[in-house]
Amino acid sequence: MRLTKLAWLFACFILFSASLSVSAQSLKEVFSSSETPIFYLGVDFTLARAIDAPEPTMDMRDRHFPAINYLIINEPKKYDLPAAFHKSAMEHDLGIVEKRNAKINTEEIKTSNTADFSRLQEADIKKLVSGWDFGGKKGVGLLIVVEAMSKAQKGASMWVTLVDMGAKKLLMTERMIGKTSIGFGFRNYWANPIRDVIEQVEKRKYSEWKSKYGG
C-alpha cells in the first residue's frame, strides 16, 4: 500500500515537472524563433481604473474601450505588434475580450485614489488569465491588461502578458507604463499609451525578454 502511494506521488511529480517544462519551452520558443506564432487577444480593461476621470463610465465601457481595441487592429502601422515581437504576422480575435469588457461594472471604473495607478500584482494577472475563456484556442496568446489611466500622471499602467491559451496559464507578464501624447477624444488619447508601450517593447523590452527567456 505504501509503495503504491509513493508511486502515485512520484507520477504526480513527473507530470507537474513536465507541465512546467512545456510552459518554459513555449516561452523559450517565442523568443528564440521568429516562426513561433503569437496570437493577439486584445486589451483587457476589466481591472482598469480611470483616476479622476470626468467621462461617463457607461461611455467608457460601451464605446471607448471597444474603440481602442479596434483602433489597434485597424491601424497596424502605428500599433505594430508583429514588429514589436519580431514576428512576420500576428493573428487576432477580439471577440473574447469584447465580451469580457462588456461585463465591466461601471461603478468600479472611476476612482479618486492616485495609489490605484499601481495597485495590481503579478498574482492578479495570473488570476485573470485563469478565468479567461480562450474558446478552445491553443498556443501562446498576447494580452494587454490595463491597470489604470491617469491624466495627472500623464500615462497609463498596463501589464504585457503572454499566456498558454490551452492550459490557461500565465507564461510571462510585466508591468509597463505608457505615456500620453496629444490626441483628440478619449479613444485617441488613451490609445497613445498603448502605442508607447508597443514601441518600448520593440526598441528595448523584446531584447531583454529574449535574453531572459530565449536562452
**DSSP symbols for 35-51:** TS--EEEEEE-TT-EEE
Residue 3 resides in a domain? no
Q: Using the CB atoms, write b or e for 136-152: b if 16+ within 10 Å.
A: ebebbbbbbbbbbbbee
pTM of the model: 0.88
d(CA 26, CA 137): 15
Going by C-alpha positions, the residue among 21, 17, 44, 39 that lies closest to residue 138 is 39
Report pLDDT for 14.
43
Give the total number of structural domains in the chain: 1
d(CA 66, CA 45): 10
d(CA 176, CA 157): 6
Residue 18 resides in a domain? no
Residue 28 resides in a domain? no
Report pLDDT for 183.
65
Residue 31 resides in a domain? no
Going by C-alpha positions, the residue among 190, 206, 150, 197 that lies closest to residue 176 is 197
Evaluate whether 119 touches 148 at the Cβ level (below 8 Å): yes
158: containing domain: 38-213
21-65 pLDDT, tens per residue?
444 458 899 998 888 999 999 999 999 999 999 999 999 999 999
Q: Write out residues in the chain with pLDDT < 70, as ranges.
A: 1-25, 183
Residue 142 resides in a domain? yes
Report pLDDT for 182.
76
